[in-house]
Chains A and B, each alone.
Chain A
Amino acid sequence: MTKKQFVFIIACYIQGSVLYTMYYYQMIGNEAWIAFTVGALLGLLIVALYGRLCETHRSACLVKLNEEVYGRIPGKIISVFYIYAFLISCSVMMRQTGQFIAGDLLMETDWLLILTIFVLICAWASNLGIKYFASVAPFTCVFMYVFTVFLFLLILPGVKLKYFLPVGQRPVSEYIKTVGLCAAMPFSELSVLVILVPELKTDNEKRGFRKQFALGILAGSPFILITMLRDTLVLGPLLKSFSYPAYEVIRLINYHTLSHIESLYGTLLLFLLFFKSAVLFYCFTKAFAQIFGCQKNIVFTAFIAGLTMLGTQQIASSNIMLIELVKTRIIYVLLAVQVLLPVMTLCVSEIRRRASAERRAAR
């Protein structure tokens, strides 16, 4: 994997979070795009933290990095917290995907059946390794931009600028919570990509991680922002009425011969969801392999497939419950594990580095 491919993987990973927009809409409706923009700026700070950690431990993935900082056993215990957060992210993603397909693309099909196939295909992609993601990401990222902008142009006649209003009439706590949610999902989820760092080809490429993460965010976030602006300007007060506004809004396109284009868009959307889920799955297996000292990720493919299926079933009893859990619990779990823990790791790492430098100077 090269630096550029890594940037595209980050961008595609963020694009794959496009269905998260429904949580933002549920929280502050038409002002969600503002919260997302602020969340992306916060995301730049969060990834600067990951970048700093990667630069101080260039050859280590997340698990080895924790072991280097905290020691062998405490490092593994800290890594288990990350794995718990990855499991939650993976379960939310797969639950969303399963219910999106069962609810909008293949209606009347049992979502558990869809989930089983989806998990198996993610396992297949994960076994192909990082080369697969690296080769697919650049084209997917660019193509999704082109297609989404094209659809935006087609839906322009339905746009109403008045839907941007009212602005600033909610309690401040709602804005803060939504910005926190945007920072947690998807930006703090980028911590999973720290596992991919040792896969960069040369030592020369293992530099400037902060820049790479930042470029990834700058390449991926506008996609979600364009989608949110489109949904807000077209659906307005109806934003909260749909489960997946990013998809439903495309149903409104009826431009000469171009109608029912949503089935094509749904397929492309599905590929983005698959990309993100498969990357999560791959990093998940790699983290487990690192914890147990295995060279082959494939050892844990079956286990992770079962675990993600179980997690996806057990995370919530319904889609409404999932939205409630995201708003009340998942946001805090993700922020605690994927922001506070790295801050703590960086502090401990710096203290240890300075202490060892002082010891060397004293000798």
Chain B
Amino acid sequence: MLYGLVTVIIIAVTENLMLNTYRSFGSLPDKVRRYNYILLWVSSAVIAGVLALGALGVPLPGLLLVK
């Protein structure tokens, strides 16, 4: 039950964020929009990659070099 609720919340929030992102980019000029899309996907891919490494058990450094 708890995990079901959590899944619903996560999906709802993520969908809302994505919809907002696409809507807000609509008003931008083509060149700016392209730049924004590139930044959005590159930054998301970078952080998703690091998070995936952490999830796979690769030891990551602490935020203050120690944990």
Which residues from chain A sit less than 8 Å from chain B, CB to CB?
A: 87-88, 91, 109, 113, 116-117, 120-121, 123-124, 127, 292, 294-296, 298-303, 306-307, 309-311, 313-317, 321, 325, 329-330, 333
Contacts and interface: CB of A to CB of B under 8 A. Distances in A.
A267 to B, nearest CB: 17
Contacts of A91: 63
Nearest to B5: A117
B32 interface: yes
A254 B47 CA distance: 48
Contacts of B51: 306, 309-310
Interface residues of B, number: 33
A330 B48 CA distance: 26
Interface in B1-54: 2, 6, 9-10, 13-14, 16-17, 20-21, 24-25, 28, 32, 35-36, 39-40, 43-44, 46-48, 50-51, 54
A301 B62 CA distance: 22
A310 B61 CA distance: 10
A309 B9 CA distance: 17
The 7 closest A-B pairs by CB, nearest first: A306-B47, A303-B43, A120-B13, A302-B44, A315-B63, A317-B67, A299-B40
B60 A303 contact: no
A123 B64 contact: no
Contacts of B48: 306
B67 to A, nearest CB: 5
B66 interface: yes
A72 to B, nearest CB: 17
A299 B36 contact: yes
A88 B64 contact: yes
